[in-house]
Amino acid sequence: MGDLAGGREVDVLSPHSEEPIAKVTLASVADIDAAVAAARASFDSGVWAETDPAERIRLVSVFADLYQERIPEISETISKEMGSTITFSNLAQGPASWAIIATMVQLAQGIQWEESRPSAMAGDIVVRREPVGVVAAIVPWNFPQGLAMPKLVGALLTGCSVVLKPAPESALDALILAEVVEKVGFPEGVVSIVPADRAEGAHLVAHSDVDKVAFTGSTAAGRIIGATCGEQIKRVSLELGGKSAAVILDDADPAAVAAGLKIAGLMNNGQICAAQTRILVPKSRASEYIDAIADMMRKLVVGDPNDPATEIGPLVSKRQQERVTEYIDVGISEGAKVAVGGPGLPEHLDRGWYVKPTLFVDAVNSMRIAREEIFGPVLTVIGYDDLDEAIAIANDSPYGLAGSVWTMDDDTAMTVARRLRTGSVGINGYGADLNGPFGGYKASGIGREHGREGLESYLELKQITPPSAGVTLG
């Protein structure tokens, strides 16, 4: 990452104690310009883009090995800086990020960089896959390393140079990542890591020397980034918000549903874009599912994220705490009933950016709590009469990132999954496999990460046609 010349120094605050735990220097516009200039120079020189793909794969494999050594430190740091429970961090924040690197290395070995195809006229044509260029990768605070890796590693494996901008709230783990990257020995300018705020991020997006922007974050920010990239005809991939529906069929076991939603709906304190937060239940058995989910949520251990017993930690910031609390107030004002939780701090806590795990019932899909992404430990139960209505409610959303189907009937589960207008669907739980494409329909984004589709998003296609094979166009 190097020294930041003009950035401002800020405190990193503990979401649990609200006390400073470190100071970091954020990147300035001048730092962004320097990082982009270094990336542009490295790409245009061919020092990485023209390196044999096998050598790129080898160096990224070294990166994976060095990263693996730092997993415990990375996991612990993320818990301290943004409130993810240490149990979740030890399962996902560090290890899953490493698994992304390892999976992408395997996928890169299958890329056909150049192929020959029969011409439609005569002879053969050549199709090449070449790196898209300088990539600006912008990631949020909630899953900082896991959301960085598809962008950083995808860019590196395909021969791109990359400027990675982490969020200020998760700058500490970015420092560790920068140390690992530096130790690998990538060529000068190929990787820059520049934690920065929104204004500097906007400058990075609009920079004329950036060829592609890869962004994960809110839909509101994604619209602005998409407009900027559209104006410049710049490549862009957007992984944005969600309001995912868990479709509970009438043969599902209430206890199993509740246990599954503890993870699928509430992991990372509810701060996951793919969280299953709209719970669609058959009206004929609604009370059974509500009772089971309410019982699960009442028993959740809320507290210090560094305590292994904790199941729900604090939200990342006071601003996020206020935002989620406002949504709880909105739900009450709209007429939904609070079955568990509600506004205010948990009774046993007197500080920290906590909210009570909250379950709304008697809700309808037109309410704001059913249509807008809350990004906290808040679930909303909506009843339905029949399967067609359940699917219609699930699809009646501006978002389409994830979803799930809960049933004992495998055939019915697949039928429902195929009818959901969403980028990924889990059955009797939720999880997205790293070998498959991840992304959303509608306002949940453009493009895909993970799988071979994620790697291909960092490549341009070139056709080379010999004189005897082509026709003149234009």
Active site residues: 239, 273
- Under DSSP, the state recorded for 284 is G
Report CA 444 to chain centroid distance, whole Å: 11
β-pairing, 337-340 with 9-13? unpaired
β-pairing, 134-138 with 424-427? unpaired
**Cα–Cα distance for residue pair 246/261, rounded to 1 Å:** 9
One-letter amino acid identity for 157?
Answer: L
Beta bridge partners of 460: 130
- Please give the C-alpha separations between residue 92 and each of 75, 84, 85, 98, 301, in angstroms, as whole numbers: 8, 10, 10, 9, 19
Q: Which of 369, 359, 361, 358 is nearest to 336 (CA)?
A: 361
8 A C-beta contact, residue 151 and residue 136: no
Query: In the numeric block, which tokens belong to residue 444?
Result: 């949940």
8 A C-beta contact, residue 172 and residue 81: yes
Q: Phi first, then psi: give them for residue 430, nearest 5 degrees.
A: -140, 135
Q: Phi first, then psi: give them for residue 191, nearest 5 degrees.
A: -130, 125
8 A C-beta contact, residue 213 and residue 235: yes
One-letter amino acid identity for 176?
Answer: I
Q: Which of 396, 330, 340 is nearest to 368 (CA)?
A: 330
Cβ neighbours of residue 434 under 8 Å, at least 6 residues apart?
99, 100, 103, 450, 451
